[in-house]
Structure 1
Amino acid sequence: MTSLAFSLLVTTAWMIPAAQVSAQQYQFNTVNIEGNQRIGDSAILSQAGIARGQAVSAGQLNDAYQRLNNSGLFESVAISPQGGTLKITVVELPTINRISFEGNKRIKDDALGAVIGSMSRRVFNPATAEKDANAIAEAYSNDGRIAARVQPKVIKRNQNRVDLVFEIFEGDNVEIERLSFVGNRKYSDRRLRRVLGTKQAGIFRSLVRRDTFVEDRIEFDKQVLRDFYFSRGYVDMRVNSVNAQLTEERDGYFVGFNVQEGQQFKFGQVSVTSEMPNVDGDAYAALIKVKPGVVYSPSLVEADIARLERQALRDGVDFMRVEPRVTRNDRDLSLDVEFVLSRGQRIFVERIDIEGNTTTLDRVVRRQFDSVEGDPFNPREIRQAAERIRALGYFENAEVNAREGSTPEEVVIDVDVVEKPTGSLNFGASFSSSDGPGVAISFAEQNFLGRGQTVNMNVSTASEARRYGFRFFEPSFLGRDVGFGLELDYTEANSSYSTYDSESLKFQPSLSFPVSENGRLQLRYTAERNEVIAQDANDDGTAFEGAAITADIDAGALFSSSVGYEYSYDTRRTGLDPNAGVLFRFSQDFVGVGGDQKYIRSVAKVIGEKKFFNEELTLRATLEGGAIAWQSGANRAIDRFILTPSQLRGFEPGGIGPRDTGATENDTLGGNMYLVGRLEAEFPLGLPEEYGIKGGLFYDVGNLWDLSDVNLNGATVDGESGSFRHVVGVSLYWDTPMGPLQFNLSDAIKKETYDREQKFEVTLKTQF
């Protein structure tokens, strides 16, 4: 208040004489500047705009005063003419010695320093400090702490310096106590809450950061909700409003989405019409995948458009554009789609400009584009490239826009990204029903050296197994859509579920590439060194192992060399039904490219999933099997199939299959063939959604058999011909911040007397 009064006094004192001598002209031969310490006389005179010997009017003197006063360099300014001398007196604003934050725990100093405008060794500006305090408060508001208060304080130092301190009162976190929906009839509140990025506060509220109210996130959730309905045929769906109310205690929000679902539409007639000469529409119609009666989805239309445009490029037809013309039939709730082939504008891509990538190399972003400089411009391809860039996981934000280039026939594509950390170093404890408790250390980097490569190193030292692994993956080998992988693993196993130890070293490079829209092929080479090692003897000096395992131990360390392939077909993301998907894998390894053994190992697996009752009930079926065709070399237990609880629940690892019943511990021998089927149902239990707990039922059936070409060494073996075991059970699925856990309680309703059951199991939930 004192500073304001002083400023008004100075202005009034100057303006009154100026009014009296408005016609008077001044000419100063001398200019005296006082009070400046850091800013030189010439800089002040230049800012004022007055030169020695220059004739100036009273109005020009007033303008000089205003320029100095508004420069942001001075706390106060006074100008007084004294005959042929102009006297300028200034009081400089102090410089900022250092900036500190006090009271902040939720947001670190580095993050707060990024949102403020004040900087050390710059001139202190009170107005800027106030803006900084508001920016810090807004950062806390976005973090869910709307009661946060920030007070800037100044501590004076010598030499006209100050310390700027932001005193922060963070306040309590204002969580979302309840997420509700009004107007939804097809899908329950529980199902819609799973779609949103915003979550209700739950039992892990101290770890989950998405249960706070953030307006930008709510806007994003509105779009996600619309996309969810659109992809399921509800083309009239609208989010009418979102109401957010604070509780009386101001410590929580009640957020309600008011939606209008509308009716579900399906595809009606689907046709292709060509408006281009020499382009046969009927030939392109054969490429359309969507059929009448399928639930309408914009993503299916986009997929067919992309398919038609790719074919046009293969046919040498440039600038062909596919326009979907949709006709609405309210009587039968169908949408007729006519794909019109027309010639688009002759516009080319002039260049692609990428900004904001300080670590990520330009080529990592560029390879997400199907177009390069000089190619015809396709807006749909640019949109898809933007989605691929965001899906990389390297950036907090990625914006892709097109603007006119140097000519109207060219466009420049601007890519603006904001990078985020992509590496992690994890230390933790682990527990496995097969390996026991242990510690785990892992390092992972998804964007190694900014090249888009994945590097993973892990060390796991459980009580019954030690694993050391290294994995590397290059998704664009030699600049093409070819993935190059490299795995190196060393394992020492000392499991209580077997009567022998084992040691394994594996080296495996691989190449993978797409062979169809949903199919991918991997080619690999594998070199392994495996050894079966005897455990300590019993107290009476007899060996743990039976005759068959003794033969495996006597074989010593064996080296195997193989080439193989794996074909996978996945419709989970590109299928016609968003609530169903199929994953199929088939692999073969031909062992015997050198080494001590020769055989062919074949494995097949198919998984199908379907959601029912408005996506509340999930049914999943799995069928997998394998066969080994042995040719030469020692056929040991560690070379054959041994079933684990992840394949057949209700039994220990190696709990079923051929067994040396003459041995002290009934050694598990594995088998050359296996077949397993699993049926699972997953459903809500009626508990609050924020608990993340679901229930499940399962039925497993499986068999492991065949010991052809095995040196049994005179052992007494049961189960060589095999028999199918049947298991039923219940599951509890729990989504925790540490990962999805699955608890299985099972009962083997059909088994053999020598089998080893495991009725209870805790494991990570298998993701389909």
Structure 2
Amino acid sequence: MYNLSSRIDAVSASIKQRAAILFLAIFASFVATASFAQSFTFTSVTIDGNQRVEDGTILSLAGISRGQTISAAQLNAASQNIRETGLFETVDVIPQGSRLVITVVERPTINIINVEGNSEIRDAEVLAVVQSQSRRVYTPAQAERDVAAISELYANRGRINASVTARIIERSDNRVDLVFVVQETGLTEVERISFVGNRNFSDGRLRRVLDTKQAGLLRVLISSDTFARDRIAFDQRLLTDFYQSRGYADFQVLNVDVALTRERDAFLITFNVQEGQKFNFGQLTVVSEIPSASAAEFQAAIGTRPGSTYSPMKVENDIARLERLAIQKGIPFVRVEPRITRNDRDLVLDVTYALVRGERIFVERIDIEGNSTTLDRVIRNQFTVVEGDPFNPREIRQAAERIRALGLFANADVNAREGSGPDQVIVDVDVVEAPTGSLSFGGNYNTDTGLGLVASYRQSNFLGRGQSLSFQISTSESNRVASLDFVEPRLLGRDVRFGFSFDYSTTDNQNALYDTETFDFRPSLGFRVSDNGRLNVFYRAEFTDINDVDPAASIVIQNEADRGRITTNGVGYTYSYDTRRTGLNPNAGVLLRFGQEFGVGDSDFIRTTATAIAETKVFNEEVTLRATIEGGLLDYADNDSRVTDRFFLGNRVLRGFEASGIGPRDNDTDDALGGNKFAVARLEAEFPLGLPEEYGITGGVFLDHGSVWDVGNTFGADVLYNDYTARTVAGISIFWTTPIGPLRFNFTEALDAQDRDRTNSFDVTISTSF
């Protein structure tokens, strides 16, 4: 039965309870308001507990003056201001009548900072990321930030499970030693990189694009197989550039999933991509909104052709051509706007290059910072604009790329900011210099020259001038070589490359009945003649001697040696045209090289050489096909060339034979004599072997066909193979990319060889430094 009286009593009790709570809250609020509304006036201030920090400094931080009337809120703020400096462990601000007492306990100062437990990363590298400093106040918050910085350093080196703790050791006079204790762990490698959404390119092909690599056989030596989070963004950019340069204009990296294995000793990285459709270029036209710029004249400057695979780089190249043409025609402040129209039905992109008038902005100055060694002019030479020129953002970006391409800086940032007026721009160049010199001692092995030792010095920023200087001494079982090379990349501030080289070599070949001694001096000038073409002109002075000729040597060599030391002066040129990296097709390219040398002195001659190389990638870029044609002609007056002048074909030119294994040969002494003419054709293919690509091992097949012939003056000797006698060699190759350099193992079989030829069924070149 419902009890109404009990219900009324319960409601009454609840109302009384709520009224009491409300009263207490109002009372507390009143007390607090009254407390904060209370004011204080102090005639004196006493500061206790400070030893290093002066009284005046603490008073200044508090912001309280004698005789000043302050509220309780201001008193509390004064206490907080002192505490926030981080100089004190505790701060008490206590009013005592007309006297204010500030009592502090100072934090200790740091005596020394040490690192313990580290063996993989040196103390200097660890301490470089630590912000705490000796003779400064120790703060736990800063020590924790230092712990995080050291942990990040280890994580970037692939040791994500390393633990770091900060400990303090108390010393006298309120000092402490700060010790960072590291517990190192093994490398946390990238165990697997996989892709989702890729239909046109295999995982293996895409993995070769990335900077991050999977752990492989040489994981101890390869740093890119360890996980670094900052490399992921770079890898996404590389993937995007790879796809877009191949026509996939809509390509996206949707997300990147990074996960640890259950044992937390390796990373699994998955790139989720969306390829989209492949586009070609449609119509490419130029329209002009500037009366002085004729669209028809600029139309002829477009290098891209309709029907070719779409690539943003091709668009950038066309824009650069058009803007350069505008400058040549004296039309300043021309900007080229690419206007792209999609045709999804035909999968083409029509591009209209609009010539518009840009803002009248000038370069006020170029400021360079961070180059403590490199001279300013080395960096300024990479700019095509100077102070006072019209500002072109594209030219500035290209200058930044050229600065980075110098290889002299670990980092280079180029930014533009407003100058002294709205029509002025200041270009800031901030660089971080990188080591540019090396001194190495090493050993090498070559199937032609045998085992040898090498000592070399190289400096690519000699005296901070951007010049290259190198010196090398090498000795092997059959020869000794000393060389000095110097290059000035921009002679007199122009795009002219000046260089000179000295080479001295001697041979003591146990397989030949004579020795040689050669000294060569060659200064040269090189300059660009087109986007892909370059011309190099040179002078050469050479002194050659054939000595220690065995009486049993060929009569040809004996007669040539009787001429003594030969002095040759020659001038020549080499023209090269290379599209392998700068061409419009990222999967194909050609290299054409043609050169001649005209000699006078003890001998008059014309030496002509030519090389043509074509390369392309097929089967979704998994297979590389390469074809090479190479030849040479040595035309001496009176046919008086010597064995030191003529061509020899070894395993570098025609594989499967020793260095002097083919060509004209004395029938009686079996001496190789070389030839005044040679021609070689090489076909090869490189392809994956199905092994994990992190091993860096691929395979190849090749077919070589060629010959060297025509000794010239035979002095009555019976010379074999003095006419064109072709040889053919087939073989397979194993390519191995290692931290010490790419190695190639060739296994060959001579399909067409002569009786006196010296074949070589296996060769490898190995070079190590220690």
User: TM-score when scaled to structure 2?
Assistant: 0.91
Structure-2 change in CA distance of 1:129 and 1:318 (3 Å): same
1:329 paired with 2:343, answer yes
Q: Residue 173 of structure 2 aligns to a residue in which SS? A: coil
Aligned partners of 2:292 and 2:331 also within 8 Å: no
Alignment of 1:414-429 (within 5 A): 414-429=428-443
Q: Secondary structure at the match of 1:525?
A: strand
- Report 1:280-319 matches (<5 A): 280-319=294-333
Distance 1:312 1:697 in 2: 49
Matched, 1:630 2:636: yes
Greater Cα offset, 652-661 or 84-93 = 84-93
Hey, what does 1:668 align to over in structure 2?
Answer: 672
Counterpart of 1:168 in structure 2: which amino acid?
Answer: V
Q: RMSD in angstroms over aligned alpha carbons?
A: 2.4
Question: What secondary structure sits across from 1:564 in the alignment?
Answer: strand
Equivalent residue number for residue 115 of structure 1: 129
Residues 303-338 of structure 1 show CA distances to partners (whole Å, capped at 9, x for unaligned) of 111111111111111111111211111111111111
1:175-186 residue pairs with structure 2 within 5 A?
175-186=189-200
Deviation per CA, 1:452-507: give whole Å up to 9, x if none. 22222222222222222222222111111111112122222223443322222222
The match for 1:377 is 391
Deviation larger for 691-700 or 626-635: 626-635
Letter in 1 for 2:752: K
Letter of the 1:228 counterpart: F
1:682 to 2:686 alignment = yes
Give the SS at the match of 2:90: strand
- Cα distance in structure 1, aligned partners of 2:643 and 2:83: 88
Shift of 1:421: 2.1
Shift of 1:605: 0.8
**Partners in 1 of 2:110 and 2:604 — Cα distance?**
76
In the alignment, the residues of structure 2 paired with residue 245 and residue 54 of structure 1 have an alpha-carbon distance, to the nearest angstrom, of 62
Would the aligned equivalents of 2:653 and 2:680 in 1 still touch at CA under 8 Å? yes
Q: Report the counterpart of residue 701 of structure 1 in structure 2.
A: 705
What letter is aligned with 2:728? H
Larger radius of gyration: 2
Q: Which residue of 1 aligns with 2:8?
A: none
Q: Which runs of 5+ in 2 are unaligned?
A: 1-30
Give the stretch that moved more between structures: 574-583 or 387-396: 387-396
Once the two structures are TM-superposed, the CA of residue 604 in structure 1 deviates from its matched residue by 0.9
In the alignment, is the contact (CA less than 8 A) between 2:36 and 2:71 conserved in 1? no
CA distance, structure 1, for counterparts of residue 121 and residue 338 of structure 2: 48
Matches within 5 A, 1:42-441: 42-50=56-64, 61-79=75-93, 88-441=102-455
Q: Return the alpha-carbon distance in structure 1 between the equivalents of residues 739 and 621 of structure 2.
A: 23
Distance 2:37 2:257 in 1: 63
Question: How far 1:368 sits from its partner (Å)?
Answer: 1.8
SS in 1 for 2:637: strand
Q: Is the 8 A contact 2:444 2:766 kept in 1?
A: no
Please point out which of 641, 660, 666 is paired with 1:654.
Answer: 660
Q: Which one is further off, 544-553 or 263-272?
A: 544-553
Pair 112,715 (structure 1): closer, same or farther in 2 beyond 3 Å: same
Count of residues in Structure 1 that have an aligned counterpart in Structure 2: 736
Change in CA separation of 1:82 and 1:270 when aligned onto 2, cut-off 3 Å: closer
Q: Provide the residue aligned with 2:13 in structure 1.
A: none
The answer as to 2:639 corresponding to 1:639 is no
Matched, 1:558 2:574: no
Q: CA contact under 8 A between 1:26 and 1:57: conserved in structure 2? A: no
Change (3 A) 1:97 1:661: farther
Residues 398-430 of structure 1: per-residue CA shift (max 9 Å, x gap): 222222222222222222333322222323221
When structure 1 is superposed on structure 2, of 322-331 and 108-117 the one drifting more is: 108-117
Match of 2:581 in 1: 573
Q: CA deviation at 1:286?
A: 1.3
Please tell me the residue identity of whatever aligns with 1:707: V
Higher mean displacement: 652-661 or 492-501:
492-501
With 376-385 and 492-501 compared, the bigger mean Cα shift is at: 492-501
Alpha-carbon distance change, 182 to 80 in structure 1, aligned in 2, over 3 angstroms: closer
8 A Cα contact 2:40 2:69, kept in partner: no
Counterpart residue type for residue 627 of structure 1? L
1:25 matched to 2:33? The reply is: no
| Aligned-partner Cα distance in 1 for 2:727–2:501 | 35
| Distance across 2 between alignment mates of 1:475 and 1:685 | 41
Pairing partner for 1:455 from 457, 469, 485:
469
Matches of 2:421 and 2:302, distance apart in 1: 36
Other-structure match for 1:605: 611
What is aligned with 2:696? Answer: 692
Determine helix, strand or coil for the equivalent of 1:278.
coil
Partner of 1:745: 747
Structure 1: distance between partners of 2:590 and 2:577 = 8
Compute the displacement of 1:442 (Å).
Answer: 2.1
Structure 1 distance, partners of 2:518, 2:57, is 76
How many angstroms apart in 2 are the aligned matches of 1:446 and 1:490? 22
SS at 1:442's partner residue?
strand
**Contact 1:497–1:654 (CA<8 Å) still a contact in 2?**
no
* 3-state SS in 1 of match to 2:653: coil
Matched residues in 2 for 1:261 and 1:653: separation? Answer: 49
**Alpha-carbon distance in structure 2 between the residues aligned to 1:57 and 1:326:** 68
Amino acid at match of 1:406: S
- 3-state DSSP of counterpart to 1:291: coil
> For 1:436 and 1:478, how far apart are their aligned partners in 2?
43
Contact 2:36 2:72 survives alignment (8 Å)? no
1:148-180 alpha-carbon deviations (Å, 9 max, x no partner): 111111123333332211111121211111111
Partner Cα distance (1:376, 1:20) in 2: 64
| TM-fit CA distance, 1:662 | 1.4
Equivalent of 1:587 in 575, 583, 595: 595
Do the aligned residues in 1 keep the contact of 2:41 with 2:98 (CA within 8 Å)? Answer: no
Q: Which amino acid aligns with 1:23?
A: S
Contact 2:110–2:136 (8 Å) recurs in 1: yes
Q: Tell whether the 8 Å contact from 1:534 to 1:553 is kept in structure 2 after alignment.
A: no
**Amino acid in structure 2 at the alignment position of 1:695:** G
Aligned to 1:12: none
Contact 1:27 1:56 in 2 (8 A): no
Does the 8 A contact of 2:41 with 2:68 survive in 1? no
Would the aligned equivalents of 2:698 and 2:734 in 1 still touch at CA under 8 Å? yes
Pair 1:158–1:661, CA change in 2 (3 A): farther
**2:703, 2:730 within 8 Å by CA — same for their partners in 1?**
yes
Q: 2:575 is matched by which residue type in structure 1?
A: Y
User: Contact (CA 8 Å) 2:338, 2:353: kept in 1 or not?
Assistant: yes
1:28-71 Cα distance to aligned partner (Å, 9 max, x none): 2xx65554443444444444445567666665554443333322
Q: 498, 501, 513: which one pairs with 2:527?
A: 513
Q: Is the 8 A contact 2:197 2:275 kept in 1?
A: yes
Work out whether residues 599 and 632 of structure 1, in 8 Å CA contact, stay in contact via their aligned partners in 2.
Answer: no
Aligned AA for 1:566? Answer: T
Cα deviation, residue 88, structure 1? 4.7
Q: Does 1:734 align with 2:736?
A: yes
Please tell me whether the aligned partners of residues 468 and 489 of structure 1 are also in contact (alpha carbons under 8 angstroms).
Answer: yes
For residue 720 of structure 1, what is the aligned residue in structure 2? 722
Q: Aligned equivalents of 1:244 and 1:85: distance in 2?
A: 62
Report the identity percentage: 55
Contact 1:555 1:634 in 2 (8 A): no
Look up the equivalent residue of 2:594 and give its one-letter code.
F
Tell me the distance in 1 between the aligned counterparts of 2:440 and 2:500.
22
Q: Quick check: 1:231–1:296 contact (8 Å CA) kept in 2?
A: yes
SS in 2 for 1:192: helix
Q: Report the CA distance between 1:713 and its aligned residue.
A: 4.5
> Please, which runs of 5 or more residues in structure 1 have no aligned partner?
1-14, 538-542
Q: Which residue of 2 aligns with 1:10?
A: none
Q: What does residue 505 of structure 2 align with?
A: 491
Other-structure match for 1:621: 627
Q: What is the SS of the residue equivalent to 1:372?
A: coil
Alpha-carbon contact 2:42-2:66 (below 8 Å) kept: no
